[in-house]
Amino acid sequence: MSAEVFYGSMLRTERSIVENEAGRQEPSARTANNISNNRGQADAISFNETHGETIHRTAHELGHTLGFSHTHSRPDRDEHITIIRKNIRDDLLPEFNKSDIRTMNTYNLPYDYGSIMHYSAKSASKNNEIVMRPRPDDRYLQTIGSPMISFYDKLAVNLHYKCLEKCNEKYHKRCHNGGFANPNDCSRCVCPSGYGGKYCDERPDTGCGKTVYAKTWFQTLVDSVGRENYNPYDHNDEFIMCNYWIVAPTGSTIEVKLEGYSKDGYSDGCKDSGVEIKIGNDTRSTGYR
């Protein structure tokens, strides 16, 4: 496991074996820095591979070690979500406290519904009712609680640890659609989801998906994505991503209808499967899911 793999940064983790109180050896990892309190010192975290840690859980905890607070604790969160405290377990209410603007640096990045650090709509619910609702657009309801690291998560880490300074500005300017030069290889870019290639100007080559040209009438697209005998606790628990680009003349409005989908993989926050539709002019933000 490495912070570079997860967050596209120059940070590194060290893997070691530690003994727990029972004398059983367990793998652990530590990072080089910690934003919140031990900057410049090592900080240890551990994961028990036998207890079913998922990739998204690991990435979330690594985010805390790198210094991330929860996204729904941002000082500006009340502009973007409504907290329904009556539905939250009493012992977990502190998880929904709002941070002070003096202690949490957002680096002027927009509120990110798709952040790996954002709880899902029913997280910590005591009655299986919603505890958070996006506002003013509740179509982001299933975007929150994402199992994937968002582009803005990567950008925040790289800004805080000054990784972007490793590459000359000319390399950053080569990146399209809001991408930035990879601090581990300035000749390549770290791209927002849905974009790929060396300079983020191509559809990602993930082995599936295609470019579709919109018509003045609806076209039908059927796709099936997944693995046989899926195990959410498998150590190869990485998402299969199929990227479709819909192309239309400049000034057109693209309309998409979801006619039907399998509900077998439904989970709060689309942790097992889902469809994301990118919207708006910000190519870096997570769309509706």
Binding-site residues from annotation: 60, 64, 70
User: In a 3-state reduction of DSSP, which class is residue 269?
Assistant: coil
10 Å CB burial of residue 91 (0-12, 13-18, 19+) is: exposed
List the binding residues for Zn(2+). 60, 64, 70
User: In a 3-state reduction of DSSP, which class is residue 55?
Assistant: helix
10 Å CB burial of residue 25 (0-12, 13-18, 19+) is: exposed
Q: Are 11 and 66 in contact (CB under 8 A)?
A: yes
Q: Are strands 245-247 and 211-213 parallel, antiparallel or unpaired?
A: parallel
Catalytic (active site) residue 61: yes
Q: Is the peptide bond before 136 cis (omega within 30 degrees of 0)?
A: yes
CA atoms within 13 A on the CB side of 288: 9
Q: Are 288 and 141 in contact (CB under 8 A)?
A: no
Give the active site residue among 61, 169, 238, 255: 61
Q: The tokens 């530690």 sit on which residue?
A: 18
Q: How far is 43 from 48, CA to CA, in rounded Å?
A: 17
Sign of CA dihedral 78, 81, 85, 90: negative
Extended beta strands in 20-57, E state:
25-31, 43-46
Active site residues: 61
